[in-house]
Amino acid sequence: MRLGLLTACLPWLSLDEAAAWASGAGYEALEVAAWPSGRGHHTAHLDVTHFSEADAERVRELMDRHGLTIPAVTYCDNNLHHDDEERHRIHRHLRACVDAASTLGVPHVSTFVGRDFTRSVAENLQRAEHLLLPLLEYAAERGVRLLAENCPMEGWSPDGYPGNLAYSPELWDWMFDLGGPGSGFLLTYDPSHLPWLGIDPVAALRHALRRGMVAHVQAKDIEIDEQARTRYGVFGKTVGRTGPTDVGWWGYRVPGRGSLDWNHLVDVLHRAYYDGTVAVEHEDPVWGGTLDRTTVGLRIAADHLRPFVRPEGRRSGS
């Protein structure tokens, strides 16, 4: 098991700079962000639309120099978008991510399932077979597996309802078996999205591990104010809401600053012989906003996770 980070939180740095910093901070892997734009949490650390074998060789040399691996190229967008032109653009870029991953020898591309808000959930599930199976086949032909993260993407809805149909174990089973048993999306498991939905993150993880669908793990924490939940309800505040994510009773934190039991979660991974990456996804507003504060947050996360992900006394390569 390796301790990594998702580079999306470091838009101020180039991939070269991010790799040097991460290695110096004790990280062992980079989940590389590859959005089309390069701002905020839509960061482009790989230009996948113009990615050549020479680019791949340079990236491989960079990773080797800093003792890092790349478990996944990540581009999370709405693959069931209601607008045909926008959906085609998203799919083109996702295919470019697959091409770049294949050229690099990276086994996974992490994305979202998404949702068409103009249709019911049942209609979305039916349309997914037509719209998503070609993407899964495209990736498989190039030796890459597509992963779907379990983020609800409530921010895509004006009222905070799930915008990514991959947020629950029921949906994990559906997307995993899309196109045939075990042939669909593998899972990027992020436990921070589960507690506010009323889902036990440990029980859900055990289920996913039993089915063999966990290919990648993201480490993000959650802080919950139960008194505020009593006031607003599970869907969040209504009066004075500034945006879809302004729920008033929960928020994301770096590991070690929230309520998740990382000792227990990582132990479940060890028991299942998970040998992939646990990559910090930094979306903590307390330790964000600037490069200096963000890197402090990443160090807090690494210090908290390292005793579990890399047991004391173990060194890289041992």
Residue 26 belongs to domain with CATH number: 3.20.20.150
Backbone φ and ψ for 61, nearest 5 degrees, come out as: -65, -40
Residue 157: predicted pLDDT = 76
Q: CA 289, CA 22: separation in Å to the nearest integer?
A: 18
- The arithmetic mean of pLDDT across residues 175-202, rounded, is 97
Residue 59 in domain: yes
pLDDT digits (tens, 9 = 90+) for 212-254: 999 999 999 999 999 999 999 998 898 988 877 789 999 999 9
Which helix (H) or strand (E) covers residue 292, if one does? helix 291-309
Question: Over 70: is that where the pLDDT of 312 sits?
Answer: no
Asked if residue 47 is part of any domain, the answer here is yes
Q: Give yes or no for residue 318 having a pLDDT over 60.
A: no
Query: Chain-centre distance of CA 79, in angstroms?
Result: 15
User: What's the length of the chain?
Assistant: 318
| Beta-strand relationship, 250-253 and 221-224 | antiparallel
Give the pLDDT score at 32: 98
How many structural domains are present in the chain?
1
For residue 77, pLDDT beyond 90:
yes
Kindly state whether residue 317 falls inside one of the protein's structural domains: no
Nearest to 267 by CA among 187, 200, 188, 209: 209
- Look at residue 315 and tell me if it is in a domain: no
- What confidence score (pLDDT) does residue 316 get? 38
Asked whether residue 237 is domain-assigned, the answer is yes
Give residues with Cβ within 8 angstroms of 150, minimum separation 6: 164, 166, 167, 168, 172, 187, 188, 189, 190, 193, 194
Binned at pLDDT 50, 70 and 90, residue 42 comes out as: confident
Please indicate, yes or no, if residue 214 is contained in any of the structural domains.
yes
Burial string for 42-51 (b: 16+ CB within 10 Å, else e) reads: ebbbbebeeb
CB 244 within 8 A of CB 159: yes
Q: Dump strand ranges (E) for the chain.
A: 2-6, 29-39, 42-44, 73-74, 108-111, 145-149, 186-189, 214-219, 221-224, 250-253, 277-280
**What mean pLDDT is reported for the chain?**
94
* pLDDT level of residue 314 (50, 70, 90 thresholds): very low
pLDDT interval class at 315 (50, 70, 90): very low
- How much is the pLDDT for 311? 53
For residue 242, count other CB atoms closer than 10 A to its CB.
7
Taking 80 as the threshold, does the pLDDT of residue 160 lie above it? Answer: no
pTM of the predicted structure, to 2 decimals: 0.95
What's the average model confidence in pLDDT over 93-109? 98
Residue 318 lies in a domain: no
How far CA 312 is from CA of 68, 279, 303, 306, 308, in Å, comes to 19, 19, 12, 8, 8
- Write out the DSSP string of 221-249: EEEE-HHHHHHH-TT---TT--STT--SS
**Is residue 112 over pLDDT 60?**
yes
Rg (CA), the chain: 19
Identify the band that residue 154 occupies on the pLDDT scale cut at 50, 70 and 90.
confident
Q: Residue 148 sits in which domain range?
A: 2-309
Residue 70 lies in a domain: yes
